[in-house]
Amino acid sequence: MYEPQLAEMDGNGNMLPFPTGYLHMKFEDSQAVLDDYSDVVLYERGHLNPDQHQSTPHDRAATYTLTNVVPEIREFNIGPWREYEERIRVRLNNFCRGTAYIVTGVTTRGNMIHRNNQDRVAIPEDVWSAYCCTE
């Protein structure tokens, strides 16, 4: 999935499947593409906003875009980070009676995934998340 509003001036905010065949450079200039991860061995795609934090099928589907992904070391992604995401989900389900807000981000130090001798995707140094409830 890609976000057309990042690649096209008249693109709307609804995510779309990547076109098949030729991928115009405007997509690659504005966001990561699957080829950026094709030869990466050390990292896998880790969600910033996991689908398990969403309540509707439409919202869950919206998490499967490369703009919601950062490179994560596999052991971190399936270990401590997954446990943290699950702990947040349980706390929100058990204690949040109003709207929940979750903000997740990364810090980088200049390390990049390269493709065709170009910097393509920043590798996070740190991944963080914060949340709160209105009630």
Residues 6+ apart with CB under 8 A from 124: 70, 71, 72, 106, 107, 108
Question: Is 37 inside any structural domain?
Answer: yes
Mean pLDDT to the nearest integer, 71-99: 93
> What is the pTM (predicted TM-score) of this model?
0.76
Within-domain flag for 57: yes
pLDDT tens digits along 97-108: 999 999 999 999
> Distance (Å, rounded) from C-alpha 51 to C-alpha 14?
17
Is residue 80 situated within a structural domain? yes
Say what the pLDDT of residue 8 is. Answer: 63
Asked if the structure places residue 114 within a domain, the reply is no
Q: Is residue 58 part of a domain?
A: yes
Mean pLDDT for the stretch of residues 76-102 = 93
Structure tokens, 69: 């992904």
Domain range for 47 is 32-97
- Predicted confidence (pLDDT) per residue in 54-77, tens digit: 889 988 988 888 889 999 999 999
Mean pLDDT, residues 103-120: 93
Band (pLDDT 50/70/90 cuts) for residue 22 is low
Q: Is residue 60 part of a domain?
A: yes
Confidence of residue 23 (pLDDT cuts 50, 70, 90): low
> How many independent structural domains does the chain possess?
1
pLDDT top residue among 116 and 29: 116
Q: Looking at the domain assignment, is residue 124 inside a domain?
A: no
Q: Is residue 40 one of the residues assigned to a domain?
A: yes
Q: What is the pLDDT at residue 26?
A: 62
Which DSSP symbol is given to 61? H
